[in-house]
Amino acid sequence: MNGWLAIAGLGPGDDAMVTPEVSDALAEATDVIGYIPYVARVAPRDGLTLHPSDNRVELDRARHALELARAGHRVVVVSSGDPGVFAMAAAIFEAVEHGDPAWALLDIRVLPGITAMLAAAARAGAPLGHDFCAINLSDNLKPQAIIDRRVRLAAEADFAIAFYNPRSRARPDGLATALAILRDTCADRRPILFARAVSTAQEHLHVVALPDARAELADMRTVVIVGSSRTRMVPGTRFLYTPRSAA
């Protein structure tokens, strides 16, 4: 039996945003591996073993998936959103680089998904319609000084900015620090979108001006999109967008 490993993105929550290639991989899988709430999105069936695991065990999970694939299983590692954006794909390749040399020979595919910032942007209008960047505010794996510097340079470059993992119980202050840097660098009333649980029953979108933005508006299920200097609301609508032209 020839095993394989697919690292698949489930999108933000609604099954209508799961691509057919991801659905097909799940239909062929013998094993699904991932963080508990993401594995919970996969319907159980005969012949499929679900392996939910806790957060912050990405490398253990990656090694488990690679071992199963090597043993001939058809394995799908699920992430929410896109697996290549602050999710499991990089962890898998880290494990391959530093692990069993046989893992380098496996059939590994990454199947993209709708990542949180693009789902949130679509719901709100088109705030990422001009140049933009994505910054993970988690300081689990990078020093706070690097995050601070990157936020400042992103604002100086006049990118729209998507913040992933803006806030958690373990890191309550990351977003507050980022907002302080933005207020210091930007000194305007650019809009900021707080988009929670997009495409689920808990979806909530909220737009505030930079001086009024507070970290408490975000939680673990929120992606935050900070406008560029050109981002604006369309008057008379709920839509937020960044014009295509720079000036």
Residue 89 interacting with a copy of itself (CB under 8 A): yes
The half-sphere exposure of 44 on its side-chain side, counting CA atoms within 13 A, is 5
Q: Which neighbouring-strand residues pair with 224?
A: 163, 194
For a copy of itself, give the closer residue by CB, 55 or 211.
Answer: 55
Rule CB under 8 A: choose which of 13, 32, 82, 175 binds a copy of itself.
82
Per CB under 8 A, which of residues 136..165 are in contact with a copy of itself? 136, 141-143, 146, 149-150, 153-154, 156-159
Residue 235 DSSP label? T
For a copy of itself, give the closer residue by CB, 76 or 108.
Answer: 108
Rule CB under 8 A: choose which of 85, 182, 186, 223 binds a copy of itself.
85
For a copy of itself, give the closer residue by CB, 96 or 197.
Answer: 96
Location of structure tokens 């006049």: 158
Residue 247 interacting with a copy of itself (CB under 8 A): yes
Residue 45 interacting with a copy of itself (CB under 8 A): no
Residue 43 interacting with a copy of itself (CB under 8 A): no
Six token digits for residue 72: 């001939």
Dihedral of CA atoms 151, 155, 159, 165 in degrees, nearest 10, equals 30
Residue 129 interacting with a copy of itself (CB under 8 A): yes
Measure the CA–CA gap between 108 and 154, rounded to whole angstroms: 33
Measure the CA–CA gap between 235 and 237, rounded to whole angstroms: 6
Rule CB under 8 A: choose which of 4, 84, 148, 176 binds a copy of itself.
84
Closest CA to 117 of 198, 244, 223, 242: 223
Per CB under 8 A, which of residues 104..123 are in contact with a copy of itself? 104-105, 108, 110-115, 118-119, 121-123
For a copy of itself, give the closer residue by CB, 49 or 234.
Answer: 234
Six token digits for residue 75: 């394995």
Judged by CB under 8 A, the number of residues near a copy of itself is 76
For a copy of itself, give the closer residue by CB, 1 or 16.
Answer: 16
Residue 191 interacting with a copy of itself (CB under 8 A): no
Measure the CA–CA gap between 83 and 24, rounded to whole angstroms: 16
Residue 13 interacting with a copy of itself (CB under 8 A): no
Which ranges of the chain would DSSP assign to H, the alpha helix? 20-28, 36-39, 58-70, 88-98, 116-124, 144-156, 174-186
Residue 183 interacting with a copy of itself (CB under 8 A): no
Residue 201 interacting with a copy of itself (CB under 8 A): no
Residue 77 interacting with a copy of itself (CB under 8 A): no
CB of 105 to a copy of itself, least distance (A): 8
3-state helix, strand, coil in the chain (%, to 5): 35, 25, 40
